[in-house]
Amino acid sequence: MIHSEQPSSTEGRFELLVQSIIDYAIYMLDPTGKVTSWNAGARRFKGYESDEIIGEHFSRFYTDKDREREIPRIALETAEREGRFEAEGWRVRKDGTRFWANVVIDAIRDRHGNLVGFAKVTRDLTERKAAEEELRRSEERFRLLVESVTDYAIYMLDPEGKISSWNAGAARFKGYQADEIIGEHFSRFYSEEDRAAGIPKIALQTAEREGRFEAEGWRMRKDGTRFWANVVIDPIKTPDGRLLGFAKITRDLTERKHAQEELEKTREAFFQAQKMEAVGKLTGGVAHDFNNLLSVVLGSLTLAQRRLQQGVDVSGLITNAIKAAERGASLTQRMLAFARKQELALEAVDLSDLVRGMAELLQRTIGPGVTIDTRFPLILPHVQADARQLELALLNLVVNARDAMPHGGTITIAAQRESVVAPEDDLEAGDYVRLSVTDPGEGMDEQTLAQAPEPFFTTKGVGKGTGLGLPMVHGLARQCGGKFVLSSDPGSGTTAEIWLRVDTTEAESDQGAAPAEPEDAVTVDSLVILAVDDDPLVLENTAAMLMELGHEVLQAHSGPEALQMLDRHNVDLIITDYAMPGMTGEELTQHILASQPTLPVLMVSGYASLPEGAGTSVPKLGKPFKEHDLSRAISDVIAVKRAA
């Protein structure tokens, strides 16, 4: 409330101040509401000159509707009663247009408390009102947009994670209506395991700290079923950084996840079927590689038989035949490993000894028209490799080199130590040995060179190659921690390099290593052993080995026959083949363990690996095996029995 004062010397300056203000309409009303003064601001946005409006009632600034509701009268009565009136609303200019005004009316009284009039201040807020209205419409459109989305759950969380809004998409695939879920914590959508692990809390903390959180995982519907969700959480903050809450967008990707899983299963099955079909079509090519080995076996044994009759020492020929047979077994294992993804048995390998031990076999395999030259340094560290697979790989490379020289020539096998300072070309930093096989033969063009390492690709024609030689070498090198490099030019020959990691345990092994044990039979007390195999030749060979080791042998050609013999004889050990018709070795073992749980059983199999769950309860011995392998396996089985 304003009190009227006597005129003073400052009155003129005060009037000048009021008259200079153009952003506010400041004017006086008499007690009845008639205008008694008018400033520049009032003139600017109401449109009246002072001589047009002074003496007129201020109600003319109101809309017809407000005048019908007697808003001007109520405003003055409120100001007189309470000393002040403030409101916002539409007002009318001289030209009939409207503007949004903020109005303040103060009662003016003299020092005796008598009402002498009113001071009225009006501000034009039309632009602000328009901006607010546009913002309101925008927010309304956004609200309708969000609420109409059905493929995404879009909702708001307060800073503690409680739900403050809910759209149709959330209701559709989470199952809650808005009145059921608003005010509840969003962690109810997570599984019990995720809640126990604190995943909801971590999600909000990550969003607040990093500005965004995104993840995929299983979420729970109202009915308890799960769906696979993609979740994005963004923090909502004020301009000064104060956290207001979070915006959370969730999408149901269950169908896509199931489709991806089915696609992966189908793709894996398809790839495996393709690979097995290709392996099945390689009979002719595999026969070619086996013929290389069998020619050595048959040739050596034929010569041994002839020279034996002449009384000549044949030990070298027999040794050569044994080595070729071992490499044939290695080829079989490698084929099975290729089909079943079998891992290699890495060990420290002396490349100089390995190549020296293969020299005679390699020369006999490639024939008299080709010679082999070896170039090894005086000192070469051991490498990490599977010795048998490395021998097979080297044999493959030498045979390929021979086939590339139809008119003969020299194959060079060399080795050189190399150091890789920084990771490069799929090699980790470290020390390696580069084993190379080089021929001066026909070479390969760029396209052939690019295809050469691919499985089942061969240039040797039908029945003359498996197409697995170079892929096997490549896979061997990678599994040993190295790499395979093939370089060639037409007419300039080919060099194949196997990079193998230096064995870092070599020094430690050398310091504390005991002398290697010879492959003699391990001594075991004479046992009564029941040998079971459906193949008469294999059974006879196994029985001969067992008798050579000093054991008494019973023979059964099937699982049921073995069970019948167990009813009639007391035996110390069962040695059974796995793959037998009617009753497998696994089924036989289960029958035996059910009735005689302490009777030791040794499972024998020619597979690279047994089916999942098979043979897991008993020791296993892979085919083919030598007398030493059989003796060692028996010793281990008996030792376990005694310990038990």
- What fold characterizes domain 344-510? Heat Shock Protein 90 (3.30.565)
CB-based contact 585:603 (threshold 8 Å):
yes
CA dihedral 566, 569, 570, 576 (to 10 degrees): -40
What's the farthest any 2 CA atoms get from each other in the chain? 154
Strands (E), 283-369: 347-349
pLDDT, residue 456, reads: 47
pLDDT of residue 613: 53
Q: What is the pLDDT of residue 284?
A: 47
Query: What is the chain's alpha carbon radius of gyration, rounded to the nearest angstrom?
Result: 48
Q: Quick check: helix, strand or coil at residue 227?
A: strand
What superfamily in CATH does domain 2-126 come from?
PAS domain (3.30.450.20)
CATH class of the structural domain 528-643 = alpha beta
Q: Which residue, among 130, 56, 69, has the nearest Cα to 99 in the 3D structure? A: 130
- Rounded to whole angstroms, the Cα distance separating 399 from 392 reads 11
pLDDT beneath 50: ranges in the chain: 4-8, 281-285, 338-341, 456-457, 461-468, 507-522, 608
Q: Is the peptide bond before 600 cis (omega within 30 degrees of 0)?
A: no
Structural contact between residues 431 and 417, judged by C-beta atoms closer than 8 angstroms: yes
Q: What is the pLDDT of residue 462?
A: 39
Domain 149-252 belongs to what topology?
Beta-Lactamase (3.30.450)
Question: Which sequence spans correspond to the domains of the chain?
Answer: 2-126, 149-252, 344-510, 528-643
* CA nearest neighbour of 282 among 153, 456, 433, 140: 456
Q: pTM for this one?
A: 0.38
Q: How far apart are CA 131 and CA 133, in angstroms?
A: 5
**Tens of pLDDT, residues 82-118:** 999 999 999 999 999 999 999 999 999 988 889 999 9
Give the pLDDT score at 568: 92
Q: What gap in Å lies between CA 3 and CA 107, rounded to an integer?
A: 8
Q: How does DSSP classify residue 215? A: E
Please return the burial class of 104, using the count of CB atoms within 10 Å of its CB with bins 0-12, 13-18 and 19+: middle
Q: Do domains 2-126 and 149-252 have the same CATH topology?
A: yes
Residue found under tokens 């048998």: 388
